[in-house]
Chains A and B, each alone.
Chain A
Amino acid sequence: MKKLIGIMLCTGMILSCVACGSAGAGSGASGSADNVPDEVTIGFAGTLSGENALVGQYQKDAIKVVENELAKNDGCIQIMGKQVKVKFALEDTEAKPDICANVYRKFIDEYKAVAIVGPNESACALAAGPIAQEAEVPNVTIFATNEEVTKVGDYIFRACYLDPFQGKVAAAFAADDLKAKTAAVLFSNADAYSKYLKEAFVEAFEAGGGEVVAIEEYAGADVKDFNAQLVNIASKNPDVLFLPNQVGELPLQIQQARGMGITATFLGGDSWDLTTLVDVAGKDMVEGACYVAPFSSSDTSEAAQAWVKAYNEVAGENPGSHATLAYESMQIVLHALSSIETFDGPSLRDAIAATNMDLPSGNVTMDEGGNPRKNAVILTYKDGAGEYVSTISAE
C-alpha cells in the first residue's frame, strides 16, 4: 500500500517535470540549412533584479530602441531574402553564474534562440559561454571585459573592450594628461574584474615610467572600512588614486579617502559610469574624477547622436555605457543575421566575425579572437554628469 503510494508519487513528480518541460515557446530551429522560419528569437541575458537592476533597466530601454527601429519594417528584418519577424526574449541572470548558465540553456532548448546577447559580468559569461559554444549558438557578450571570455570558443564574441586595454588607457591618461608621476591602487581581491584591471594598470603605468607607490587590497564587497589601507596610501602621497572597484564600494572609498586628506585625482574604469555612484557618493565627492568608458553622449558623430536622440525618446535621459553596449550588441547580431547565406549557427558566427559597422561608439570590426577593435573615451565627472575629455583609439 505504502509502496503503491510511493510509486505514484514518483511518477507524479516525473510527470510534473514533463508537463513543465513541454511548455516552452518555440520558434524556428537553427541547424537546418535553407530553412528560414517566419520568426526568430534573440535571447537577452540581463541583470534585471538585484543590486545592478538599474543596469538591466537601461539595457531594456536600449532594446526598446531597437524594437522601435525594427517597427519601421513591421518588426522584421530581411534574412536571406525573406521577411522574418524578430522576437526578443529577456531573462534575468541576477548576475549569478549558475543562473546565467541555466538561462542560456533555456534560450537554447526552450526558446530555440538563434543568438544570445550575453551578460554584463565576466563571471557569468565564463560560466555560460561553453554552453553556447557547444550548441553552436553565437553569443555576443555585452560588458564582460575579462580576457578569457572570448577564449572559450569561436562562437563567443564581445561588444566591449578588454581589461588589459582599459588598464593601458587609464595608465596612459594618467601619465600624459594628468601628468602623474606616482599612483596608488586600492582594489578588491575578491572580484576578478577589479583584480585584473589593477594588474593591467600597474603594468602599463610602470612601463610608462611612472611609479606605483602603494597597492592596497580589501576582501570584497562586504568591507566598509578602508581606513587602514587608506592611511597607508595617504602616507605615500600619490598623484593619482586608481579605484577599479564596483559601484557598491566606491562611495565609501571616495568619502573616506577625502576625509583622510588624500588629494589625489581619482581614476577609474567603466564601473564608474553609473548614476548610482553620484547618488550615493554625492556630486561634490566625485567632482573631477576621471574614468574610462566605451561611449560618451557628447560624441558628435552621426551614429552617436542618432542613438542619443532615440534613447532619449524612450528613457528621457542620455544613454550611459551599459545601454549603448547593449544596443551595439543587438545591432551586431541583427546586421549579421541579415547578411547570412545559409540559416545555421556556423554561418551566423562567420557573419558576426566579419562585422564592419559604424556604431555609436565608432567604427567596429571584430578581430580573430572575437574582440572588437574600438576606441575608448575618458570622461570626467562635472556637476554629477560625465563630461567628455578625450578619445583613446585602439592599437
Chain B
Amino acid sequence: MVKAIQLIVYGLQVGSIYALLATGYTLVYGIIKMINLAHADFMMLGAFVSLFVYTALSGFGSPWWVVAVVIVATMIIVALLGGLVERIAYKPLRNRPTLSSLVAAVGVSMFIQNFLRCIPVVGPVPRAYPSLFTSANITIGGVTISAIQIVVIGVSFVLMLAMQLLVSKTSIGKQMIAASCDKDGSALMGINVNRIISITFCIGSGLAAICGILYSSVYPSIHVYMAATIGNKAFISAVLGGIGNTKGAVLGGLMLGMVEVLLQSFNSSVSYGASFVIMIIILLYKPAGLLGTAETEKV
C-alpha cells in the first residue's frame, strides 16, 4: 500500500513535468496549428542556459534570490531565442502547407542539438546540474517525498494556473484565443496576428525553459540529447488530452506519468514503447483526444 502511494507520488512528479511541456506544445499548436517538434530542445536549452547563469553568479552561493534570478534570466533568454527561431525558421513557412513546417521543425531540432554538441562550451559530455533547491526529505507515513518533488509539482501547478489566467483574463490571452480561432477575422478586428504568434512562441519557449530547470533539478545530469524522449512523451500527453486544449494537456501529462511509473514497476522492459501504443489506441477511439472537441474541417 505504501509502495503504491510512493509510486503515485513519483507518477505525479514525472507527470507534472510532461504536463508542463505539453502545455507549451498545446499553446503553440492552438495558434499556428503546427506542432513544434523542436519544443523539447528549448527545454534542453533552458537547462544549459540556467547552468551557465548559475555558474556566472556562483560567487553568491545559493540563497533564494540567486535561484530566482537564475530562473527569471533563463526564461527571458530562452524566450528571446524562441522568438528568434520563430522569426528565422517558421515565419517564412506560414503560408505553406504544414508539411513544410514539420520538416523545418525537424531541421531546427537537429540544428540546436548538434550545434550545442559541437561548440566546446557545451560539448557532448553529460554535465552535472547544481542543486538549486534544498534536498530535504519529508516522510509522511512511510512515504518519502523529497523537497524537490514538491517544488516541481508545486511550480508546475502554479504555472499551469497562470497560463489559464493568462489565456482567459488578460487582453493578450484573449487575442491569442481569437487568433487561434480565425486568423483573418482577428486581423480584420485590429489584432496584430504576427506579433501574437511571436509572443505565443516566446511564452511557449519560456515555459519549456522552466520545465528544463525543474527537470534538471530532479535528474541532475544534463546533456545535449536529453530532449528527444521527453519531447515525444510530452507530445503524446498533449495529444492524449486533446491538442489545443491546455486543461487537456495537464490531464494527459499526469495520466501518462502515472501509467508509465506503474508499468515500469511491473515490467520495466517495454515502457517506452507502451506510451506510443497507448497513444495509438486513444487516437483510434477518440481522435480528438480525451478533452478535445472534434473539429470539423471546413473546405
Contact = CB atoms under 8 A, between A and B. Distances in A.
Q: Do A and B have CB atoms closer than 8 angstroms in the complex?
A: yes
Interface of A: 49-51, 53-54, 189, 216-220, 222-225, 227-229, 231-232, 235, 248, 251-252, 255, 259-261, 276, 279-282
B185 interface: no
Interface residues of B, number: 31
Contacts of A227: 10, 261
Contacts of A216: 268
Given A219-B271, A228-B265, A280 B3 contact: no
A198 to B, nearest CB: 13
16 contacts: A49-B124, A51-B125, A51-B126, A51-B223, A53-B123, A218-B264, A220-B272, A228-B265, A228-B268, A229-B268, A248-B221, A248-B223, A260-B144, A279-B128, A280-B128, A280-B221
Contacts of A248: 126, 221, 223
Contacts of B223: 51, 248
A224 B261 CA distance: 12
Contact of A251 (B220, B229, B272): B220
Contact of B7 (A231, A260, A281): A231
B137 interface: yes
A216 B128 CA distance: 25
B270 A219 contact: yes
B31 to A, nearest CB: 30
A229 B124 contact: no
Contact of A228 (B125, B135, B229, B261): B261
Nearest to B265: A228
A259 B219 CA distance: 12
Contacts of A225: 10, 14, 219, 261, 264
B2 to A, nearest CB: 9
Contacts of A255: 220
Given A53-B125, A216-B268, A231-B7, 15 more contacts: A49-B124, A51-B125, A51-B126, A54-B125, A217-B268, A217-B269, A219-B268, A219-B269, A219-B271, A222-B228, A222-B272, A223-B229, A224-B226, A279-B128, A281-B128
B268 A259 contact: no
Contacts of A231: 3, 6-7, 10, 265
Interface in B122-140: 123-128, 135, 137
B164 interface: no
A216 B266 CA distance: 10
A51 B144 CA distance: 34
Contacts of B228: 222
A384 B74 CA distance: 32
Contacts of B268: 216-219, 228-229
B46 to A, nearest CB: 16
A189 B10 CA distance: 22
B230 to A, nearest CB: 8
A219 B272 CA distance: 7
Nearest to A256: B219
A228 B264 contact: yes
Nearest to B228: A222
Query: Could you say which of B14, B125, B135 has the most chain A C-beta atoms within 10 Å of its C-beta?
Result: B125
Contacts of B146: 259
Contacts of B261: 225, 227-228
Contacts of A252: 219-221
Interface of B: 3, 6-7, 10, 14, 123-128, 135, 137, 144, 146, 219-221, 223, 226, 228-229, 261-262, 264-265, 268-272
Contacts of A280: 126-128, 220-221
A229 B14 CA distance: 14
A50 B270 contact: no
A217 B128 CA distance: 24
Contacts of B265: 228-229, 231-232
A233 to B, nearest CB: 11
B169 to A, nearest CB: 35
Given A219-B271, A228-B265, A251 B3 contact: no
A280 B137 CA distance: 22
Contacts of A259: 135, 137, 146
A251 B137 CA distance: 19
A54 B10 CA distance: 34
Contacts of A228: 7, 10, 261-262, 264-265, 268
Query: Could you say which of B128, B137, B264 has the most chain A C-beta atoms within 10 Å of its C-beta?
Result: B264
A121 B6 CA distance: 38
A215 B125 CA distance: 29
Contacts of B7: 228, 231
Contacts of A276: 125-126
A29 B216 CA distance: 53
A235 B6 CA distance: 12
Query: Could you say which of A54, A280, A282 has the most chain B C-beta atoms within 10 Å of its C-beta?
Result: A280
A51 B124 CA distance: 5
B277 to A, nearest CB: 14
B126 A224 contact: no
A218 B269 CA distance: 6
**Closest 7 pairs (CB-CB, A-B):** A228-B264, A228-B265, A222-B229, A224-B219, A280-B128, A227-B10, A251-B221
A274 to B, nearest CB: 10
A259 to B, nearest CB: 6
Contacts of B226: 222, 224
A222 B227 CA distance: 9
Contacts of B3: 231, 235
A189 B221 contact: no
Contacts of A224: 219, 221, 226
Contacts of A235: 3
Contacts of A49: 124
A50 B261 CA distance: 31
A50 B229 CA distance: 19
A279 B223 CA distance: 14
A149 B27 CA distance: 51
A194 to B, nearest CB: 13
A57 to B, nearest CB: 11
Contacts of A279: 128
A50 B124 contact: yes
A228 B10 CA distance: 8
A269 to B, nearest CB: 19
Contacts of A232: 265
